[in-house]
Structure formats: structure tokens, C-alpha cells
Amino acid sequence: MRKVLAIRLSAMGDVSLTVPAIRGVLNANPDLEIMVVTRKFFAPFFFDIPRLTLFYPELSGRHKGLTGLIRLYNDLKKYGPFENLIDLHGVIRTRILSFLFKISGTPCFSIDKGRKEKKFLIKSKYIRALKHTAERYLETFRSAGFEGQIGKAPYFLLTEEACQKAVGFIQKNQEDPLILKVGLAPFAKLKPKIWDIKNFRELVQLINIDFKVEFYLFGGGEQEIASLIEFKQFFQNVHLVAGKLHLSEELALIRNLDLMISMDSSNMHLAALSGIPTVSIWGGTHPAFGFSALGQPTEYHLQTPASSLKCRPCSVFGKKPCIYDSPKCMEMVKPGDVFKTLVKFNLLSPKVKKANQSPSTNS
């Protein structure tokens, strides 16, 4: 059996997007084993994938700093020999590891992130779709000689225990299981990617006028959870998920949803990779840069057109501070616009189409 080492340490959305590529490569190469180096928290993404093992680096302890990376290199070598090292992260830490493996004779291949292409799009505002990040991961494997294809969602396998916990959570919060279940993920890591939570409140009010829906709030961190608790108090049909379930259980709950409405965030990726319709709202970033919700229709990515606001998009990841007091591109997306999209594509009907049966896809 051939062995390959693949590395992607963070962040959550990026790690989750490795799964379609890794599964595609393993499916196409039955004589291949892959060891993935990533954080333990992300283990549920890789549950029960045949011929895949995980290694959890101790980046705050044993494997911290340069000497820690040397220890990590030595620890990983014990599981070899590896035919190749596939660097899906492309940061200083993984480059050092690649160098150590390379000088010991292991061929190393690193992801091409398309930085020049993305920089050109930001500068010129000439918007065209670049390769999706999942495709870039797959191309990195191909550069090492491993073919594969990205299949269709859902990509995550779920434990029976997580599924039971998710079903129990739903049963506890809504009496009628046939009522539409809609996830709401109002937050993102960076401000230019956040639609004011007041907009989500207005959107829920609009939906409640004509549709029978139960809403589930996703997020993380004390400040976000505090905001979501306040949000929940306005509505009887809104339920808090954030802080209540482990990641594996959240994935199982997401699989049971009929729709997710999210920012450009990890929850957007988790919903799309789970195979449920995912409507996303975009501000300073742009889905054309390769971080769109995989397999979702282009019409489900809602945004202020670049032609309507000359400063948009302003950055690849949303790290650049907005030139306005608050992200103007987000303010220009109104709750009514999102509601109209949901109605137009019949996403509030009890019989929601699956993502891969919807209109034109962007994968």
C-alpha cells in the first residue's frame, strides 16, 4: 500500500474543503493511504473515510516553534515512508516541514493558491470565476501524480451517536418534524463579511408572515452566543444551536436542515458540503475567488454587484478594514432581497430541491 502525507492545519472552512478532494483521490486510487495532519477539533470531517488516518500536531506544546517543527517532522517520519508530502496549506510552518521532508528525499508538492489572479481581480474589479479551493486541493494531488474527481455532496460521514443526538435536539425544539427547518449563521470571523444581525431579525419576521418555519441559530464564541440568545428572545420559533452541540453533532443537525442562510463563513461550507441548499450573503469578499459554497447555484450567492460599488470586492479573505464606518456592500443587501430569492427558488417550501438538482451550479 502506497502512503501519502497531506497537511492542512486550519481554518475550519478550508479544512472542510479538503474532504471532497481527499475522498476523490482515495476513490480513484484504491492502493493509496493518506495520513492527514490537522487539528483534532476537525476530526469529524474525516470520520470513517477508508484508508485515511489522522495525525494531530501539538502546535501549542510539543510541536511549537522551529524546534517543535523538527520534532513534528521526526514524529511523522515514524509513520512512513511516504511517497509524497502534499502541502494543502502553503504557510511558513508547512513550508518548513516540506523542506525537512524534501532534504530527506521525499518529493513535496504545495498548493497554488492563485494569489496573482486574486490580486488582479481585486485591483481591476474584472470579476471572473477562478478555480474553487477544493479544485486547487485536488490539483495539488494531481501534480504528485494522483488522479481523482470531486463527487457530489454530502461528503461527511456521520456517527450513529451524532445522528441520534441531532434528531433528539430537533424533537426537543419542534413538535412537528415536517415543518421546514432553516439554519441561520449570522456571523463570520471578520467584520467586512458580517451582515448586521438586525437584518436577520427582519428576515425572520418576513418569513414568519407567510411561512411556517423553525429556525436554528449557529455560531461560536461567548460574544456571538450572547447575541444569538438575545436574538432568540424575539421569536418562539427560533432555537439556539451554538454552544449546545459538539462539531460532529452540529454536522448531523445540519444534514437534517432544509436550508442554511449564512455569511461567507465556515457554516456556509459545512452546509454546502452536507448537501443542503445554502444561501450565502457576501460583503467585502467575492465567491469568484474560489471560496463559494461548493456545488450551490450561483443565484444562491447574494451580493452587491461590483459594478454598483467601486470598492467591492476589497480583499480575498475580508481582512482589509472597510473605508466606511460599516461595510456599505453589506448595507446594500436588504432583508427583502434575500426573502425574494428564497421565494423565487421555492426554498421555503416543505419540499426543497437538493442543491445538485437546482438551477445552474457553481462548483
Please tell me the predicted confidence (pLDDT) of residue 151: 96
Please tell me the predicted confidence (pLDDT) of residue 124: 87
In a domain, 337, yes or no: yes
Residues 214 and 353 grouped into a single domain: yes
Distances (CA, A) of 95 to 8, 173, 204: 12, 47, 46
Please tell me the predicted confidence (pLDDT) of residue 262: 98
Q: Per-residue pLDDT tens, the chain, 363 aa: give them.
A: 999 999 999 999 999 999 999 999 999 999 999 999 999 999 999 999 999 999 999 999 999 999 999 999 999 999 999 999 999 999 999 999 999 999 999 999 999 999 999 999 898 888 889 999 999 999 999 999 999 999 999 999 999 999 999 999 999 999 898 899 999 999 999 989 999 999 999 999 999 999 999 999 999 989 999 999 999 999 999 999 999 999 999 999 999 999 999 999 999 999 999 999 999 999 999 999 999 999 999 999 999 987 889 899 999 999 998 998 888 999 999 999 999 999 999 999 875 444 443 333 443
Please tell me the predicted confidence (pLDDT) of residue 79: 98
In a domain, 148, yes or no: no
CA torsion, points 18, 302, 217, 258, in degrees to nearest 10?
-80
Burial 44-68 (b: 16+ CB within 10 A, else e): bbbeebebbebeebebeeebeeeeb
Residues 133 and 185 grouped into a single domain: no
Residues 230 and 281 grouped into a single domain: yes
Residues 71 and 209 grouped into a single domain: no
In a domain, 150, yes or no: no
Residues 358 and 230 grouped into a single domain: yes
The 10s digit of each residue's pLDDT in 155-177 is 999 999 999 999 999 999 998 98
Residue 145, helix vs strand vs coil: coil
Please tell me the predicted confidence (pLDDT) of residue 351: 56
Task: Tell me the residue range of the domain where 91 lies.
Answer: 2-143
In a domain, 350, yes or no: yes
Please tell me the predicted confidence (pLDDT) of residue 143: 98
Asked if 134 and 21 count as a contact pair (C-beta separation under 8 A), the reply is yes
CA separation for the pair 306, 125 (Å, rounded): 7
In a domain, 154, yes or no: no
Please tell me the predicted confidence (pLDDT) of residue 358: 37
Please tell me the predicted confidence (pLDDT) of residue 306: 79
> 284: which residues sit within 8 A by CB, 6+ positions away?
190, 192, 193, 312, 313, 314, 315, 318, 320, 322, 327, 329
Pick the closest to residue 191 from 315, 10, 311 (CA basis).
315
Query: 64 phi and psi, to 5 degrees?
Result: -85, 140
Q: What is the 3-state secondary structure (H, E, C) of 213-229?
A: EEEEECCCCHHHHHHHH
Residues 58 and 189 grouped into a single domain: no
Q: Which helix (H) or strand (E) holds 209?
A: helix 197-210
Global confidence as pTM: 0.94
Local structure of residue 352 (DSSP, 8 states)? P
CA 184 to chain centre: 15
Q: Which domain CATH number covers 59? A: 3.40.50.2000
Residues 194 and 135 grouped into a single domain: no
